Amino acid sequence: MSRQIEDYRKPSILSIAGLDPSGCAGLLLDVRVIRALGFHPCGVVTAITFQNTCSGYGFDEVSYPTLESQFRSVFEDELVMGVKLGLLTSKAAEAAFTFLRGGDFFSVWDPVFSSTTGLKFFENEYLRVTEKITATVDIITPNVEEAELLSGIKIVDIASAERAAERIYSRYGVQTIITGGKLSGKDLIYDGKKTYTVEAEFSPVEIRGTGCVYSTALTCFLTRGEKIRDAARLARLYLLESVKRAGLYGKCLPCSDPPPYYNI
């Protein structure tokens, strides 16, 4: 590649996630958010899921050689400035660790252990995946149930969420944002030293894709240069707009609808 072409490459954000054929979560949804927030989206598929707005039926893991080939194809060509990780199998965690460690970019993991449609991706594997991937990511964004799994602490309020975030940090060494769908709309941020909360409106109705939208938007804002507290606030505002636009595209759960153009 000539130096002139190198200089003109635009920044990309990589989504490492599962493929949801309904388009209401995972890689297909991440792509929409990344493009809306001003970056070129690229992706690595970790699993092909079989789900829609009503139910989850199963999934097929992508093999390690195929994962490796996807990663190599992206990193040998594109200018990756940020990485969002979603559904990770043990194979995907191993491949991500190999290709992401030492990278000069922000990385955010939304630890998807099960889908809103009831599809479970992990049984006894989740701690091994967590130990592997937290060695290379900057921030994780578990919801309340996921934070309970990672910390071993029952979360019933902000105080217990703070203890859980501190426990996760002490175990895995990553900044933690516990997203607040079940914390009365409050997100709790622990950066390793201080705790912050971000509060916004939230929907009492179950909507698919909210975790994907939030964590992907967070990655975009961090890549823009925002500090974690400001990036979390901006990501929450973007999620709020996506929830307000949510639509019933299938027969059951409504799906998040990220604004296609969004300037902050």
In a domain, 262, yes or no: no
pLDDT tens per residue across all 264 residues of the chain: 434 445 678 999 999 999 999 999 999 999 999 999 999 999 999 999 999 999 999 999 999 999 999 999 999 999 999 999 999 988 999 999 999 998 999 999 999 887 776 677 765 677 888 999 999 999 999 999 999 989 999 999 999 999 999 999 999 999 999 997 678 789 999 999 999 999 877 677 889 999 999 999 999 999 999 999 999 999 999 999 999 999 999 999 999 999 987 666
pTM, rounded to two decimals: 0.93
Q: Which residue has the tokens 């974690």?
A: 228
Residue 166 belongs to domain spanning: 3-244
In a domain, 58, yes or no: yes
In a domain, 112, yes or no: yes
In a domain, 8, yes or no: yes
In a domain, 199, yes or no: yes
In a domain, 41, yes or no: yes
Closest C-alpha to 27, from 62, 1, 64, 55 = 62
In a domain, 36, yes or no: yes
In a domain, 254, yes or no: no
Beta strands in 38-164, from DSSP E residues, in sequence order: 40-51, 56-61, 79-85, 106-109, 139-140
How many domains does the chain fold into?
A: 1
For position 99, which CATH number holds?
Answer: 3.40.1190.20
In angstroms, the CA 169 to CA 150 distance is: 10
